[in-house]
Amino acid sequence: MKPHVAILFHRFGPYHHARLKAAGSRMKVTGIEFSNVDPTYAWDLMEGADGFNRLTLFSGTAINELPARRIFSRVKEALDQLKPQVVAIPGWHDRCSLAALRWCGLHKIPVVVMSETTAWDAERSWWKEFLKRRVVKLCAAGLVGGRAHSEYLERLGIERSKIFLGYDVVDNEHFARGAEEVRSKQEEVREKQGLPKQFFLASARFIEKKNLPRLLEAYARYRELAGKTENGKQKTEIWDLVILGDGPLRETLNSQLSTLNLHDYVQLPGFKQYDELPIYYGLAKVFIHASIIEPWGLVVNEAMVSGLPVLVSNRCGCAQDLVREGLNGFTFDPCNVEQLAELMLKISAIHFPLSDFGLASRQIAESFGVSAFAEGMSGAVGQALRNPVLNFSWIDNICVSSLAHGSSSFFANNLEAKKNDSKNGNTEFFVFQYRGRQVLALPKNAKAAWLEGVKRYQPFTVKRRLYRTFLSSAIQLGCGRLVSRSCVDLTNECFGFDFKSWRLEFESRLGQSITHAIFAWPVEPTRRRLYIYLLDANLHTFAFAKLAFRNQDHENLMTGAETLRVMGKLPFQKIRVPELILCGRFGEVGYTVMEPLPVNAKPLSLEQAWDSSKLTAEFSGQKRRISGAEIMSQSWWSDYVNALQPEHQTFHKELTRLLPLGADVCRVHGDMGLANMVTDGSHIWIFDWELSHAVAPALTDAVGFFMSFTVGKTSRNSAARIVKFKKHFLPDDSEQQRLAIFLAVAFRHASGISDAGRLMQAWPF
């Protein structure tokens, strides 16, 4: 005899119809729809049922408009009448699911939890996880979409053997058959729909997490790359872009199309109903899904079974289950515009094997059809019946009831509170100034973070140490407001940058909540930079971010990031380098996020003549001699030549005369100085690797350290400084030593360090 299963879902639509029909072939199924009103998706109402029974709890009213008491009463009434043997609930976030879970606990009916939640798709805190485990342990089995969901459900307390796959599936036959029919008469359909001959396709709600503004940026960059020629020939045909959907960001996207001059190449046909979708899948070339956060992404299933190659954000739950790199598509970092643009260029190349990728997509997606839902649900139901969870204590009863009654969906409201906090709270700052310019900003409504912020203000001069002591004293005495100015929207005022959006995005990427942010400015007032210390709820600084607001600075950030990756693989004894966490772009803003320096780190006390060679030997590697011609082939040499001024010609003439001698090169830090080193007592931390180079003059760091003691100082007593420099580095007339020093100065000049130019100008000395 087939078991009777009540399967709950939010609103009955075409996807649910197909799944329930398939499940109905294996068991007696009653589909319970919470409400026939859904403010999120505009699917047409579906009537009837095929192979299953159907029940709607509330008609004409959205669930979020109803009190918990009424929801509990209606769920109890429905389940009392149906008397199912197993109940399947869609997660643990809403009141209908919690009401059904409570009914099952009181009546000793086993529960299957259907989940598409991952460990990284939202903020995780210990107390929320504790409550989730309390709820999830009441479920006898789980049905999930893929591996990421299975891993998280197991973490919440359900054994791996009790978790089944098949939740996130579509009606493969509907999309495959529909796409093939369209392709059989594609010219006729294309003309009727007004669609371009070749286009990328995306389909998503027009909301922030779908990442559509960045998709448009990537598409604009793709057109730029695709328009370039090689040997007089264009590398690829340039495709158009079609984005299906609608939502609150429509006007924003239209405005962006105008700004990027893309109106002639991008179509926004609006939201399309279920029966219309195969038209677009059948005519498209490649499907793109660029979401920043996505539990699964059923549109990827639809595109793949329709025979399309895919480009999918690595933040989508389906990515690791559906995308085989280089076989049916590619994954990408949704925040990396350049990476997506390059993938669009790659996959649209004239000789790219699109048909092979499309065939692979279809083959992979075949195992994610509605039969997989039926099989997975059948397995979960069997497991639940064999090993039901019968221990529903009075504590569990109170916990589940309180969550539903007391908070109108506890987890959802906490998420909403988090969004409101992002919009309204924690946006005012007290900004502190030193010698007339901004140096530090502390969140106005987080006094507990103030002293931690001041600790993160690293002073490298006596005056700055005194200023930090003054700030600490003022804050401890409650006078911090008197020595600062209030700023409501700090990053927008200073840089025209929306930090709140950046914070939400990086919380999802880091998998950690950013409770507080401490802002600091670099020493050089003219640099369009911002430094941010990211703090958790315990006031622990867990990351340090650099933001660059000038395009020309982005290359330096990426150089630093790549060097940190290399440094992370080297065995060190005396030194340490921060671990790189993230790097990329946020719109036009370049960023790197790295491990913060230890809070107990202090500036080093070293003399100008200190021998840095033992320290630099740990990362410089084996020195090697290269010829003058090889030196002139390095990227930094071109930068040096381009930065030459007329007053540098005497220096340059002498340098080029000596160049045939050849010189030693190695990896250098590039900007070695006390400002870029601190000590935690046992190790020396070296940071700010933006000017690092793997093939640079071997004496660069020694020269850089010596000259760092006078960087930014006036030219008063410059003659005495030059004499001191010459005495330290040129004790004799050795031409080899002179060339080594000349090259080190040239490298610093190429990097834009002003003291090098002044030294070159003073030659001969």
Question: Residues 487-491: what's their mean pLDDT?
Answer: 75
pLDDT above 70 for 430:
yes
For residue 504, what pLDDT band results from cuts at 50, 70 and 90? confident
pLDDT above 90 for 523:
no
pLDDT for 649 equals 93
pLDDT for 5 equals 96
| Mean per-residue pLDDT of the chain | 87
Say which residue, 230 or 273, is predicted with more confidence: 273
Query: pLDDT tens for residues 574-595?
Result: 999 999 998 887 767 888 999 9
The strand pairing partners of 236, in sequence order, are 349
The top-scoring range by mean pLDDT among 308-312, 393-397, 526-530, 604-608 is 308-312
H/E stretch holding 229: strand 229-230
Walk me through the domains of the chain, giving residue ranges and CATH numbers: 4-168+371-410 (3.40.50.2000), 172-365 (3.40.50.2000), 425-594 (3.30.200.20), 605-761 (no CATH)
pLDDT above 50 for 320:
yes
Q: How far apart are CA 371 and CA 21, in angstroms?
A: 10
Only one residue has tokens 């997660």, namely 91
Only one residue has tokens 């299975």, namely 150
pLDDT above 50 for 412:
no
pLDDT above 80 for 212:
yes
pLDDT for 427 equals 58
Q: How far apart are CA 557 and CA 561, in angstroms?
A: 6
Tokens standing for residue 53: 């029974």
Three-class SS of 359-405: HHHHHHHHHHEHHHHHHHHHHHHHHHHHCCCCCCCHHHHHHHHHHHH
The strand pairing partners of 487, in sequence order, are 429
The top-scoring range by mean pLDDT among 182-191, 415-424, 581-590 is 182-191
Only one residue has tokens 């407001």, namely 481
Q: How far apart are CA 587 and CA 585, in angstroms?
A: 6
pLDDT above 60 for 408:
no
In the chain, the percentage of residues whose pLDDT exceeds 90 is 53
Say which residue, 45 or 283, is predicted with more confidence: 283
**Gyration radius (Cα) of the chain, Å:** 31
Rounded to 10 degrees, what is the CA torsion of 329, 331, 332, 333?
Answer: 160
pLDDT for 717 equals 56
Tokens standing for residue 55: 């029940």
pLDDT for 470 equals 86
The helix-helix angle for 613-620 and 700-707 (nearest 10°) equals 140
Answer whether 525's CB lies under 8 Å from 468's CB: no
CB atoms within 10 A of CB 680: 14
Q: How far apart are CA 400 and CA 98, in angstroms?
A: 6
- The CA-atom distances, in angstroms, between 706 and each of 356, 534, 694, 719, 728 are 60, 33, 21, 16, 9
pLDDT for 447 equals 73
For residue 15, what pLDDT band results from cuts at 50, 70 and 90? confident
- The CA-atom distances, in angstroms, between 39 and each of 10, 36, 45, 61 are 11, 10, 13, 10
pLDDT above 90 for 651:
yes
Answer whether 373's CB lies under 8 Å from 167's CB: yes
State CA 108 to chain mean position distance.
43
78-92, 273-287, 682-696, 710-724, range with the lowest pLDDT: 710-724
Tokens standing for residue 106: 């009181």
Tokens standing for residue 399: 């916990």
The strand pairing partners of 203, in sequence order, are 244
pLDDT above 70 for 557:
yes
pLDDT for 525 equals 62
The strand pairing partners of 244, in sequence order, are 203, 270
pLDDT for 421 equals 41
pLDDT for 232 equals 55
pLDDT above 70 for 409:
no
Q: How far apart are CA 359 and CA 677, in angstroms?
A: 55
Phi then psi for 101, rounded to 5 degrees?
-65, -40
Only one residue has tokens 């197991």, namely 154
H/E stretch holding 625: strand 624-626
Answer whether 738's CB lies under 8 Å from 656's CB: no
For residue 555, what pLDDT band results from cuts at 50, 70 and 90? confident
Could you tell me which residues come within 8 angstroms of residue 90 by beta carbon, excluding any fewer than 6 positions away? 8, 9, 10, 97, 114
Question: Residues 56-62: what's their mean pLDDT?
Answer: 83
Answer whether 273's CB lies under 8 Å from 43's CB: yes
H/E stretch holding 202: strand 199-203
pLDDT above 70 for 41:
no
Question: Residues 745-764: what's their mean pLDDT?
Answer: 88
Question: Residues 410-427: what's their mean pLDDT?
Answer: 42
Buried b (16+ CB within 10 A) or exposed e, 358-396: bebbbebbeebbbbbbbbbbbbbbbbbeeebbeebeeeb
For residue 425, what pLDDT band results from cuts at 50, 70 and 90? very low
Could you tell me which residues come within 8 angstroms of residue 506 by beta carbon, excluding any fewer than 6 positions away? 514, 534, 545, 582, 593
Q: How far apart are CA 344 and CA 290, in angstroms?
A: 12
pLDDT for 14 equals 85
Could you tell me which residues come within 8 angstroms of residue 338 by beta carbon, excluding any fewer than 6 positions away? 218, 221, 585
pLDDT above 50 for 420:
no
Q: How far apart are the first and last CA of the chain?
A: 101
pLDDT for 714 equals 44
The top-scoring range by mean pLDDT among 58-62, 226-230, 727-731 is 727-731
> 602-603 and 677-679: which strand pairing?
antiparallel
For residue 124, what pLDDT band results from cuts at 50, 70 and 90? low
Say which residue, 453 or 70, is predicted with more confidence: 70
Say which residue, 458 or 684, is predicted with more confidence: 684
pLDDT for 398 equals 78
pLDDT for 765 equals 65
Tokens standing for residue 403: 């969550």
Tokens standing for residue 626: 């290269």
For residue 129, what pLDDT band results from cuts at 50, 70 and 90? confident
pLDDT above 80 for 455:
no
For residue 424, what pLDDT band results from cuts at 50, 70 and 90? very low
Question: Residues 612-626: what's their mean pLDDT?
Answer: 92
pLDDT above 90 for 450:
no
State CA 345 to chain mean position distance.
22
pLDDT above 80 for 490:
no
pLDDT above 80 for 42:
no
Query: pLDDT tens for residues 134-153?
Result: 889 999 999 999 998 999 99
Q: How far apart are CA 732 and CA 742, in angstroms?
A: 14
pLDDT above 90 for 347:
yes
For residue 39, what pLDDT band results from cuts at 50, 70 and 90? low
pLDDT above 60 for 54:
yes
For residue 713, what pLDDT band results from cuts at 50, 70 and 90? low
pLDDT above 80 for 562:
yes
Amino acid at 654: E
Answer whether 116's CB lies under 8 Å from 150's CB: no
Could you tell me which residues come within 8 angstroms of residue 607 by beta carbon, excluding any fewer than 6 positions away? none
E-strand ranges in 283-418 read: 286-289, 310-313, 329-332
pLDDT above 50 for 423:
no
